[in-house]
Structure 1
Amino acid sequence: MAAEPTRRALILGALALGGCARVERVRQPLRFTVVNDRLLLDGVITRRSARGFEGVLAQNPQIATLVFQRVEGGRHLEDVLRLGTLIRSSGLTTALRSDSVVRGGGVDLFVAGVARRMVAGAVIDPSSRADPARRAYLRAMLGSDDFYRFTLRNPAAGGIQGMSIEDITRLGLLTEPVQELN
């Protein structure tokens, strides 16, 4: 609790200086919340994410679906690839709700699901990072290099609105048609 007033004081001080200091949103490490047979993921993938995921899965063998809320990759690609490999080897489904936002490594993690589904309105904003390990991982998850090459050719394809449903479908990011809101 003592750190919170200090952070608030720093932000207020920065604002009082007329915007001379840059204030950024605090990015929280990936959090896991179990709801019946679903595991909700929210936050930034870190070095501890894979270990945390393994622990949650061990204590909750009923988990069948990972629901991505707001998930993005962290600084290290290997953290995303390790967690993605665990997801695939666990045979889990990944899902996006209408208010889900996945960015960068969060998209690479989403495609690790054996089955992948999304509700219209979700935002998929992929990384444009060129890396041989990422290329091999995406090929293993999706069966081709199409998505990887797309991200390199279209680095601004995501953005605020995310990828188009046509591109998401064409590139094989989903295993089921997009569910429309009723």
Structure 2
Amino acid sequence: MIQHSLKRRFLAGAAALGVAVVAGCTHLQVAYLNSYDSIAFEPSGDDLLVSGTLNQFSLASFEQAIAENPETTRLVLMSVPGSVDDETNLKLGNRVRDLGLDTHLTADSEVHSGGTDLFLAGVERSMEEGAIIGVHSWAEGNRAGADFPKDDPVHESYVSYTARMLGSADFYWFTLDAAPVEDTYIMTPADIAKYGLLTKPVVKN
């Protein structure tokens, strides 16, 4: 995967995991977080509970979990701080949609960046009041995502994915301006409604 996307997803995930982000060390930190299976799919009835950082092993882990739990109808994302392999993460999201699965956030759930992208994959997307959805931009060197023209090929995979999941790419363009790569923006109820992240009303506690 091209470098900008790895950097975008890693920084969000690292911050949420409490990993220090040091200039010049990003490649090593990304390599470490991409060196072992860091995501867990735990069956619970018809649900698969998802926790951890998404990486190059996540699609294979998901396929194994689905094979072992064919009754699964929904992914419940618990704490998913981000992804260090966007190419795999987008494939995973497309696979979730192909299977017709739903996604859900509990009142204690927290997803950021690549975790938010995975949430979008649900045919039906629901959340309980209190769940946290975070987004931010990516950066390549000193250039942020919004610095690249909208017709630049660097955007293509994200635009295609977001348009498939939500019907348009508006949400992707929003994430580029929402927060810089080293930070995260917590979406408000108005944001969530505006960009159509949910297909069902928020469940009040």
TMscore range, shorter length: 0.7 to 0.9
Provide the C-alpha distance between the structure 1 equivalents of 2:57 and 2:185, rounded to a whole number of angstroms.
Answer: 30
What amino acid is aligned across from residue 96 of structure 1 in structure 2?
A: L
Question: Which residue number corresponds to residue 93 of structure 1?
Answer: 102
Question: 1:111, CA displacement in angstroms?
Answer: 0.2
Structure 2: gaps (5+ residues): 1-17, 21-31, 139-144, 146-154
TM-score, normalised on structure 1? 0.80
Provide the C-alpha distance between the structure 1 equivalents of 2:85 and 2:173, rounded to a whole number of angstroms.
Answer: 20
Question: Which residue number corresponds to residue 150 of structure 1?
Answer: 174
What amino acid is aligned across from residue 35 of structure 1 in structure 2?
A: S
Provide the C-alpha distance between the structure 2 equivalents of 1:160 and 1:86, rounded to a whole number of angstroms.
Answer: 26
- The correspondence for 2:56, drawn from 47, 56, 59, is 47
Question: Which residue number corresponds to residue 80 of structure 1?
Answer: 89
Structure 1: gaps (5+ residues): 1-22
Equivalent pairs counted in the alignment come to 157
1:24 aligns with 2:19: yes
Change over 3 Å in CA distance of 1:123–1:161 after alignment to 2: farther
Question: Which residue number corresponds to residue 136 of structure 1?
Answer: 160
Q: Secondary structure at 1:173's aligned position in 2?
A: coil
Q: Secondary structure at 2:75's aligned position in 1?
A: strand
Provide the C-alpha distance between the structure 2 equivalents of 1:96 and 1:145, rounded to a whole number of angstroms.
Answer: 22
Post-superposition Cα deviations, 1:100-135, rounded to whole Å, max 9, x if no partner, equal 000110000100000000001000002323432111
Post-superposition Cα deviations, 1:132-152, rounded to whole Å, max 9, x if no partner, equal 211111111100121111112
Q: Contact conserved, 1:105 with 1:127, CA < 8 A, in 2? A: no
- The ranges of structure 1 where at least 4 consecutive aligned residues each deviate by more than 4 angstroms after the TM superposition are 25-28
Provide the C-alpha distance between the structure 2 equivalents of 1:148 and 1:99, rounded to a whole number of angstroms.
Answer: 25
Task: Report the more deviating stretch, 75-84 or 33-42.
Answer: 75-84
Provide the C-alpha distance between the structure 2 equivalents of 1:103 and 1:154, rounded to a whole number of angstroms.
Answer: 12
Question: 1:74, CA displacement in angstroms?
Answer: 2.1
Q: 1 or 2 for the larger relative contact order (CA 8 Å, sep ≥6)?
A: 2
Question: Which residue number corresponds to residue 19 of structure 1?
Answer: none
What amino acid is aligned across from residue 178 of structure 1 in structure 2?
A: V
Provide the C-alpha distance between the structure 2 equivalents of 1:34 and 1:145, rounded to a whole number of angstroms.
Answer: 32
Q: Contact conserved, 1:30 with 1:41, CA < 8 A, in 2? A: yes
What amino acid is aligned across from residue 192 of structure 2 in structure 1?
A: I
Q: Contact conserved, 1:93 with 1:114, CA < 8 A, in 2? A: yes
Change over 3 Å in CA distance of 1:116–1:32 after alignment to 2: same
Provide the C-alpha distance between the structure 2 equivalents of 1:41 and 1:150, rounded to a whole number of angstroms.
Answer: 25
Provide the C-alpha distance between the structure 2 equivalents of 1:51 and 1:72, rounded to a whole number of angstroms.
Answer: 19
TM-score, normalised on structure 2? 0.71
Question: Which residue number corresponds to residue 200 of structure 2?
Answer: 176
Provide the C-alpha distance between the structure 2 equivalents of 1:127 and 1:49, rounded to a whole number of angstroms.
Answer: 22
Post-superposition Cα deviations, 1:61-83, rounded to whole Å, max 9, x if no partner, equal 11111000001322221021011
Q: Contact conserved, 2:136 with 2:178, CA < 8 A, in 1? A: no
Q: Secondary structure at 1:70's aligned position in 2?
A: strand
